[in-house]
Amino acid sequence: MTQRPADWSPPSPRELPALREHLAEYVTTWPAHLFVAEALRHGRGTLRPMASPAVGAGLLLEDEHRRLSGAQLFYVTADITRLVRQAAPSLRDKWDIQPQDLPAPTGFMLFAEPMAEYVREDGKRIDVVAVSWGGTELVTSETGGLWVTFWTVTDFAAIKRLARAAGASAVEAELAAHQQNAELTWDNELYLPWGSTFVTVAPGEGGRVIDPTSIAAAETTLSWLQTVHAGWIFSNPNNLTETTEEHLPRTQRIRAERAGHRASPVRVVSISRKPSSRSVRQGDPSGRTVSVQFPVAPFFRRQPYGPGSQLRKLIPIAGHWRGPLDAPVRITQKVNVVDTAPTPDSR
């Protein structure tokens, strides 16, 4: 039986800089080094340096500290998180990601609801609630690429049980759990060369030399990447969402700058307050007339832009009802996906 985790209680957007600051500090500590080295020793993780566990842990943590410190912070509200998860499966070319598709070159994005989950060996459900991304000094590539790290809610209850089993008192276990761990735990990672569509699944024991032309990922992180890609699209300018800025208090901004962290405002991604004038769409994208009403799930459309409308970019389209207002309603298992913009003649 799958054990349900405690409800994810995300920080507010105003509290996100402090969480990032704590994570960036944590990855420089010896408990973090021991945790990552132990994971490498047991063959866990997707990207494992060709070095001893101790050396590899140092390389990974130093690289991640650089990304966390320079990250633009994003906070994705619960309603947008749900839309992201609903729309992500419609990304047919989910691996064709270019630098211009990112809302920031280096970022840390927190979701107010889990963006993914999986079941651990002991039956406990683990929630993925954040992602960081940016360049890496661990992979050499002529074209460049992106390192993506996935963060889960730290299972403090399990950590305290281990401490108690080792002889610690309840008070000692509580103190150790929170002093030696951050609110979030580095769970897994992947490497994404720009524009690559070829995937290499995670290696066996001992690590491997990463092919800089191939996506290096695990089966689980591939589906997570699809959701993250959707989150990036929703975070770029579009008609469905709005992005507001949560400025850091002066004292926190000064502290962040002194610590070498990026201190720009948190970008909060939420539902646009602009009223929609097309809640029900009468026709079909192909130009056909429909005689029933049916729901269309959120999806992404390739929108023409640029000189002569020769370029294409993915934009999110909200879920909506299609068909005449007075027509009967039909609900089916089929997911209706539209991934090309209608031509002027078909509207």
Structure confidence by residue, pLDDT tens digits, 226-260: 899 989 988 988 777 889 999 988 888 888 888 88
Q: Does the pLDDT at position 117 exceed 80?
A: yes
C-alpha dihedral (103, 185, 250, 9), degrees to nearest 10: 90
Mean pLDDT for the stretch of residues 69-76: 96
- Quick check: is 3 in a domain? no
Q: Is 52 within 8 Å of 93 (Cβ atoms)?
A: no
Closest CA to 36 of 22, 25, 52: 52
Parent domain of 209: 13-271
**Coil/strand/helix, residue 259:** coil
Out of 237, 271, 305, a domain closes at: 271
pLDDT: which is higher, 7 or 63: 63
What distance in Å separates the CA atoms of residue 342 and residue 322, rounded to the nearest whole number? 15
Lookup: tokens for 193: 């060369």
Lookup: tokens for 59: 């390389």
What distance in Å separates the CA atoms of residue 167 and residue 189, rounded to the nearest whole number? 34
- Quick check: is 78 in a domain? yes
Out of 271, 304, 323, a domain closes at: 271
Task: Give me the residues paired with residue 325 across strands.
Answer: none
Mean pLDDT for the stretch of residues 198-206: 61
- Quick check: is 7 in a domain? no
Percent of the chain clearing pLDDT 70 (strictly above): 74
Predicted pLDDT at 92: 64
Predicted pLDDT at 91: 78
Residues 201 and 337 in one domain: no
- Quick check: is 1 in a domain? no
Closest CA to 27 of 72, 62, 70, 71: 62
Structure confidence by residue, pLDDT tens digits, 146-191: 999 999 999 988 889 988 898 888 998 899 888 889 999 999 999 9
Element (DSSP H or E) covering residue 225: helix 219-235
Mean pLDDT for the stretch of residues 89-100: 74
Mean pLDDT for the stretch of residues 98-103: 88
Residues 224 and 194 in one domain: yes
What does residue 128 show for φ and ψ, rounded to 5 degrees?
A: -90, 120
Predicted pLDDT at 111: 97
Out of 236, 271, 306, a domain closes at: 271
Residues 17 and 124 in one domain: yes
Structure confidence by residue, pLDDT tens digits, 277-289: 444 444 445 455 6
Element (DSSP H or E) covering residue 172: helix 170-179
Lowest mean pLDDT, pick from 40-44, 79-83, 180-184, 213-217 = 213-217
Structure confidence by residue, pLDDT tens digits, 3-42: 444 567 899 999 999 999 999 999 999 999 999 999 999 8
Q: Does the pLDDT at position 72 exceed 90?
A: yes
Lookup: tokens for 226: 């699809």
Mean pLDDT for the stretch of residues 69-85: 93
Torsion over CA: 126, 201, 74, 79 (sign):
negative
- DSSP string covering 273-316, please? -SPPS-SEE-B-TTS-B-SSBEEE--EEEEEEESGGG-EEEEEE
Q: Does the pLDDT at position 341 exceed 60?
A: no
Residues 206 and 286 in one domain: no
Predicted pLDDT at 10: 92
Q: Taking each helix axis as running N to C, give the angle between helix 30-41 and helix 53-69, from 0 to 180 degrees, rounded to the nearest 10.
A: 130
Count of Cβ atoms closer than 10 Å to residue 167 Cβ? 8
Percent of the chain clearing pLDDT 90 (strictly above): 35
Predicted pLDDT at 293: 53
Q: How far is CA 167 from CA 32, 69, 158, 161, 175, in A?
A: 22, 37, 15, 10, 14
What distance in Å separates the CA atoms of residue 65 and residue 186, rounded to the nearest whole number? 12
- Residue that is written with structure tokens 């008070």 in the block: 171
What distance in Å separates the CA atoms of residue 112 and residue 8, rounded to the nearest whole number? 8
Predicted pLDDT at 35: 93
Mean pLDDT for the stretch of residues 185-203: 80
pTM: 0.79
Q: Where are the beta strands (DSSP E) in 135-274?
A: 145-153, 184-193, 199-201, 215-217, 241-246, 266-271
**Count of domains forming the chain:** 2
What distance in Å separates the CA atoms of residue 290 and residue 3, rounded to the nearest whole number? 45
Residues 256 and 117 in one domain: yes
Residues 244 and 310 in one domain: no
Predicted pLDDT at 289: 62
What distance in Å separates the CA atoms of residue 80 and residue 111, rounded to the nearest whole number? 9
